[in-house]
């Protein structure tokens, strides 16, 4: 396939013009072309007048002739889509592999194992999506928190109640495989072409259920409401797992528990496995009007129907720390994301349409093992301490503490609402947000927010609503693994995804699940039972 990149057109130009421009660049007659379509669309708004930037994919009737176009112009490349390569081992498993966690890492690992005939058994501590959505809705409406069915736990993992963002920086060829699987299971077609693709929480739920259905149709099994409580070992290797529903024999366990499974982290350390600290970040959710963000990004072109909803990603380093925005949700809402009683946690969520009035994003400052004496328990305790402080500041009923930006910069503890109305479902209560964080972190958040206004006009508006706290940006711990993706301390255990410290988002977690499953397939050829 021939790709013609960097085709820049005004917002008013029809997409067909991009195809014509590509064929003109290639000096191709239509009669030689089998197909030509948009492969990627992005926006260049750097110079005040946004333009759309296209990549067009062209296939010829004579496939053998395509290679002649390689390097014919700086913007032209010829790429052959490679099939997923799998090596199959010869060892036989006595019991089918167990996958713990049905977030993106566990879901994609289980899917690949199922497609290769290994009939995985998946353990998910929370309920199926239908029951999980009901539990989350009840909590949003004021019911007590269910520690096993919430924004963090249940089928689909934490990403289910998010923007369904598919952007990633890992650059792995498996990213394309993830996209193809999502499309096969009903994800919106535009994720294949958008520069910053997203599925949206509403669409993502159906995709997850569909993938789970394929796993089951191929002989896999999913046990919901089943929590991993222990590992059973014999002579230095795994021989089974203890769960809330009893013991299960296995020689292979993919541990894909997500970044919030603190009780699982405790269990692993109690059983003698060494977890190490890894960097993570803490901060607040910042809410602006979506229209204000788009005015800052697109200037006079804001609101043009050809433009996507405006997104931003901002960062600033201050010595060894970084203040940055994370998980930006255009047209979305701030959601209650607690998974432990007595703590307030925020996250962001958008539907596919992204048609809400507000934009929100985490604004966080980095911390790492040096802040906690390289003690993973202290790192987890720090997250919990912030969440419990936010719970108390909100009044002890999962109301979230909040402060408008103008007040936060001056440390006045006021909620001076203007154009932006807070979207947090359990309600907000004015507090001095700076008192929730150690002094250095609070001051860095203030510096970062003030500096971001210089990068994105309007970002520092005084009526911007800050809601706290954001603590689950990523796992605070890592379980080390070797080059074969296996745990260095226990044969048969495969740490995987965000919870194990090897991913940071839907796509990277899914890719890590595929990597781990591929490593298992390279060792084992079949299951005896």
411 in the same domain as 388: yes
Separation between Cα atoms, residue 138 and residue 132, nearest integer Å: 10
Both 65 and 102 in a single domain?
A: no
Are residues 369 and 326 both part of a single domain? yes
DSSP 424-478: -TT-EEE--GGGGS-HHHHHHHHHHHHHHHHHSTTTT-TT-EEEEEE--SS-SEE
Q: What is the mean pLDDT of residues 444-464?
A: 97
pLDDT of residue 81: 76
Give 329's pLDDT tier (boundaries 50, 70, 90). Answer: very high
What phi, psi does 388 have (nearest 5°)? -70, -35
Length of the chain equals 529
Q: Per-residue pLDDT for 63 more than 80?
A: yes
- Using a pLDDT cut of 70, give the percent of the chain over it: 100
Where is the domain boundary, 425, 449, 470? 470
On whether both 406 and 296 belong to a single domain, the answer is yes
Q: Mean per-residue pLDDT for 191-215? A: 95
pLDDT at 157 over 90: yes
Residue with tokens 């993570």: 280
Closest CA to 109 of 207, 229, 256, 230: 256
pLDDT recorded at residue 302: 95
pLDDT interval class at 79 (50, 70, 90): confident
Q: Is residue 191 part of a domain?
A: no
Residue 226 has pLDDT above 80, yes or no: yes
Quote the mean pLDDT of the chain: 96
Instruction: Please say if the pLDDT value at position 338 is more than 80.
Output: yes
- Sign for the CA dihedral angle at 146, 152, 153, 159 comes to positive
Write down the pLDDT at residue 49.
Answer: 87
Summarize the confidence of residues 12-27 as an average pLDDT. 95
pLDDT surpasses 80 at 168: yes
Count of structural domains, the chain: 3
pLDDT at 528: 82
In this prediction, residue 119 carries a pLDDT of: 97
Torsion angle, alpha carbons of 105, 110, 112, 116, to 10: 160
Same domain flag for 406 and 502:
no
> What pLDDT shows up at residue 137?
98
Residue 209 belongs to domain with CATH number: 3.50.50.60
Mean pLDDT over 382-388 rounds to: 98
- Residues 513 and 424 grouped into a single domain: no
Question: Are 270 and 207 within one domain?
Answer: yes
Tell me the pLDDT band of 84, cut-offs 50, 70 and 90.
confident
Cβ count within 10 A of residue 510: 31
Confidence of residue 360 (pLDDT cuts 50, 70, 90): very high
Whether residues 35 and 50 share a domain: the answer is yes
Say yes or no to pLDDT of 126 above 80.
yes
Same domain, 311 and 378: yes
Instruction: State what percent of residues in the chain have pLDDT above 90.
Output: 94
Q: Are residues 508 and 440 in the same domain?
A: no
Q: Is residue 286 located within the same domain as residue 270? A: no
| Distance (Å, whole) CA 414 – CA 405 | 9
Last residue of a domain, one of 422, 437, 470: 470
The CA distance from 34 to 84, in Å, is 25
Under the banding of pLDDT at 50, 70 and 90, the label for residue 166 is: very high
- Model confidence, pTM: 0.95
- DSSP of 304-344, one letter per residue? -TTSPPP----EEEETTEEEEEEEEETT-EEEE---STT--
pLDDT at residue 204, rounded to an integer: 97
Q: What's the pLDDT score for residue 48?
A: 76
Query: Tokens 């226990």 — which residue?
Result: 490
Same domain, 71 and 213: no
178 in Cβ contact with 507 (< 8 Å): yes
Domain range spanning residue 209? 91-159+170-181+199-275+479-527
């Amino acid at each position: 396939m021939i790709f013609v990149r960097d085709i820049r057109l005004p917002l008013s130009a029809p997409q067909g013009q991009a195809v014509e421009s590509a064929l003109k660049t290639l000096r191709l007659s239509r009669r030689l072309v089998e197909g030509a379509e948009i492969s990627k669309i992005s926006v260049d708004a750097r110079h005040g007048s946004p333009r759309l930037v296209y990549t067009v994919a062209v296939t010829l009737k004579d496939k053998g002739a395509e290679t002649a176009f390689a390097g014919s112009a700086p913007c032209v490349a010829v790429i052959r889509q490679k099939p997923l390569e799998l090596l199959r081992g010869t060892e036989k498993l006595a019991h089918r592999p167990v996958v713990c966690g049905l977030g993106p890492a566990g879901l994609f690992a289980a899917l690949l194992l199922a497609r290769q005939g290994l009939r995985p058994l998946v353990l998910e501590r929370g309920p199926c999506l239908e029951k999980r959505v009901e539990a989350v809705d009840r909590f949003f409406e004021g019911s007590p928190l269910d520690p096993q069915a919430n924004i963090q736990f249940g089928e689909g993992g934490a990403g289910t109640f998010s923007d369904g963002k598919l952007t990633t920086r890992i650059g792995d060829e498996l990213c394309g495989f993830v996209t193809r699987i999502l499309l096969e299971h009903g994800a919106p077609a535009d994720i294949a072409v958008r520069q910053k693709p997203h599925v949206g929480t509403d669409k993502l739920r159906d995709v997850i259920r569909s993938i789970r259905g394929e796993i089951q149709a191929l002989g896999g099994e999913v046990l919901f409401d089943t929590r991993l409580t222990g590992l059973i070992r014999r002579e230095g290797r795994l021989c089974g797992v203890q769960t809330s529903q009893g013991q299960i024999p296995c020689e292979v366990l993919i541990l894909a528990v997500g970044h919030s499974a603190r009780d699982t982290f405790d269990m692993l350390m109690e059983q003698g496995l060494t977890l190490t600290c890894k960097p993570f970040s803490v901060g607040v959710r910042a809410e602006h009007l979506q229209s204000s963000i788009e005015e800052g990004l697109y200037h006079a072109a804001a609101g043009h129907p050809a433009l996507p909803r405006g997104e931003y990603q901002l960062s600033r380093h201050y010595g060894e720390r970084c203040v940055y925005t994370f998980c930006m949700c255009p047209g979305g809402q701030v959601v209650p994301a607690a998974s432990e009683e007595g703590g307030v946690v925020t996250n962001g969520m958008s539907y596919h349409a992204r048609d809400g009035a507000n934009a929100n994003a985490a604004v966080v400052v980095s911390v790492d093992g040096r802040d906690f004496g390289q003690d993973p328990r202290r790192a987890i305790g720090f997250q919990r301490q912030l969440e419990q402080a936010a719970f108390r500041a909100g009044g002890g009923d999962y109301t979230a503490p909040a402060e408008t930006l103008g007040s936060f910069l001056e440390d006045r503890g006021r909620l001076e609402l203007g154009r932006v109305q807070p979207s947090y479902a359990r309600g907000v209560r004015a507090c001095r947000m700076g008192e929730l964080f150690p002094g250095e972190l609070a001051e860095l958040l203030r510096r970062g927010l003030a500096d971001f206004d210089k990068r994105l006009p309007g970002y520092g508006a005084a009526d911007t609503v800050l809601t706290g706290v954001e603590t689950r940006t990523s796992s605070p711990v890592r379980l080390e693994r070797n080059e074969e993706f296996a745990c260095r301390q226990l044969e048969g255990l495969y740490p995987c995804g965000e919870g194990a410290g090897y991913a940071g988002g839907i796509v990277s977690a899914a890719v890590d699940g595929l990597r781990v499953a591929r490593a298992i397939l390279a060792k084992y050829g079949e299951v005896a039972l």
